[in-house]
A and B are shown apart, each in its own frame.
Chain A
Amino acid sequence: MRGVLRVNHTMIAASVSMAALQRKLDLIAENIANIGTVGYKSKDAAFADVLSAFLEQEPDFERDGRRTPLGLPLGGGARVVGILTDLSPGSPQQTGVPTDLMLEGNFLFELQTDEGERRFTRHGAFQWRIENNLGDLRLVSANGLSVVNTDDEPVIVPAGYEFRVGTDGTMTAVSPDGTDVVDLGTLKVVEAVRPEFLRPAGENLFAIPGDANPDDVVRMPGAAGGGPAVSVRQGFLEASNVDLTREMTELTAVLRAYQLNARALSSGDQMLQLVANLRS
């Protein structure tokens, strides 16, 4: 057992995993806090075990009845290896607001920043912004980014016109008397091919990471033949996909695991105390 510090692996393992459990607890709290957030996707922490040392054993340790190869791995607890986002759709919530749009399936709305960069969101609670002094309105996201059509043009509705979206994403503006119909193009929606690669850009927005090929992450629906068709619902919002029952169960499990680790820690402490009082 040369070369290894006689550290207390119990205390290291327990404290490391308590820190990891704390992170999971934070995520559960975040999920529960966002149960009412439109388009929120629940998150989960993924754990993996950690080794803090590997004790080399001399060939003399190879004795009759030994079943494993030489060496003794010493544990260092568990750590969080990744945060997994559950991208399953949330349930529809009717609002009746014409600018509230909801996508069914694995699709995202495409938005454009003022610099012309692409952003994506599931958060379909859009708003109007006054475009000019005629009172024309531009459809923007909650954080002010323009919604675009498939020609990458902003959606501008003439003053007083009613905004309508078909389930296939075609947008029209209808005059109050119903006689004039303005074609606004088709809502630009992309299919998330590898949604886990979308980089969160804050405020329910996603962006394509700089080092990735955009076509690897998102693609136009129906590209490469087939794929599910887009379905847009006007007047609906996507509720968060947080499952409160699951979160509460996880909360209980995490708390108990934390408690068990704390017990192990105090038990390790008791051992140290015994040593400290060896000669009393």
Chain B
Amino acid sequence: MLRGLYSAAAGMITQQRRHDAVTQNIANLNTPGYKAATPVSRAFPELLLSALGGDNPPKRPIGSLHTGVFSEEHLLSMAPGVLLETGRVLDFAIVSNIQVELPGIGPVPFDASGKYVAPDGTVIVQPQVFFTVLTPEGEQRFTRDGRFRSEPDGTLVTLDGLPVLGVDGQPVVVDGPWDAVRVLPDGRLVDAQTGEPLPGDPQLLLMRVENPDLLVREGNNRYRHEGPAGNLTPLQPGDQAEVRQGFLESSNVDPAQSLVELMTALRAYEANVRVIQSYDRSLEKAVNEIGRVG
């Protein structure tokens, strides 16, 4: 039947998904460490149409056709959020701008959202740095939301209670008040007054994720890593990244841009609705008028 009818329906679903993604961004305008999702759509795989039943040649190709579109993935926009000074001892923000040298390009000039498109079209993503937390199942999760709190025994945990890991792979535990602890830019914990390292020299585990596209959003401001283990390396001295105590990284959602995207998605949805209505009128004519007798 009319192929475009289904293309338009697929278009409606895709625009709905885009709208959902933008709404989720707007919903998280005030979520620290939130990274906006950029929805990406893709055309359905191409079909090659052939004409059948002619005399000469009996079968000939007409051309290719895409029969629709689908919402394929939500890319994370890794643009840094604005740093807010809170003064709270257990608020941390990560500031990172990791430089990468590639043969033939030299230092890669990443754009604001943390990617670089090479002249041949390949996309290079800037490595990003995350706090590492431990789930009750013993798996690592990554977050940019540095609002932590302390358990009664001094374990540093996220607001929903997952322990924050240190470089030794164990939860960070501090004996005594956190007010007396200062966190250095490299994540090491020292006594706020003397500047001496705390017993055991605890240090926050800052994970450098080589390709942050392999992080899957899991809710609660956390990401799960799905990729080769080599994609994750603890931050090394000399990497252009640091922790700031008493600061929070705000959400990187741009409300103005989000609203524009919202309107675009809505209108594109509406356009697809019109296409369906137009097909419907064609069908109506075919059904009710062409075949009419008398």
* Chain A interface residues (CB < 8 Å from chain B): 8-10, 13-14, 16-17, 21, 24, 46-51, 61, 63, 66-69, 71-78, 81-82, 84, 86, 88, 106, 191-194, 196-197, 209, 212-213, 216-217, 224, 227, 253-254, 256-257, 260-261, 263-264, 267-268, 270-271, 274-275, 278-279
Contacts and interface: CB of A to CB of B under 8 A. Distances in A.
A48 B32 CA distance: 8
Contact of A49 (B123, B147, B221): B221
Given A48-B160, A66-B72, A213 B152 contact: yes
Given A13-B20, A48-B221, 13 more contacts: A49-B217, A49-B220, A67-B213, A68-B73, A69-B216, A69-B227, A75-B23, A82-B159, A194-B177, A209-B152, A224-B176, A257-B255, A267-B19
B24 to A, nearest CB: 3
B149 A82 contact: yes
Interface string B188-219: 00000000000000000000000001101111
Contacts of B167: none
B145 interface: yes
A278 B276 contact: yes
Contacts of B280: 279
Chain B interface secondary structure, helix, strand, loop or mixed? Answer: mixed
B178 A194 contact: yes
17 contacts: A8-B16, A13-B23, A17-B28, A46-B159, A48-B145, A48-B160, A67-B213, A68-B214, A74-B17, A74-B24, A86-B88, A194-B150, A194-B152, A217-B152, A257-B26, A275-B12, A279-B280
A199 to B, nearest CB: 11
A75 B20 contact: yes
Contacts of A260: 26, 29, 255, 258-259
B66 interface: no
A224 B177 CA distance: 11
A14 B23 contact: yes
Contacts, number: 185
Contacts of B216: 68-69, 71, 73
B201 to A, nearest CB: 20
Contacts of B30: 21, 24, 47, 78, 253-254, 257
A257 B276 contact: no
Interface residues of B, number: 65
B27 interface: yes
Chain A interface secondary structure, helix, strand, loop or mixed? Answer: mixed
B173 to A, nearest CB: 11
B87 interface: yes
Contact of A271 (B16, B149, B178, B276): B16
Nearest to A60: B45
A256 B262 CA distance: 16
B214 A77 contact: no
A63 B72 CA distance: 10
B165 interface: no
Interface stretch (B51-59, B128-136, B263-271): B263-271
Given A13-B24, A13-B27, A77-B24, A267 B152 contact: no
A73 B217 contact: yes
Contacts of B140: none
B168 interface: no
Contacts of A224: 176
Contact of B218 (A16, A51, A72, A88): A51
Contacts of B270: 274
Contacts of A86: 88
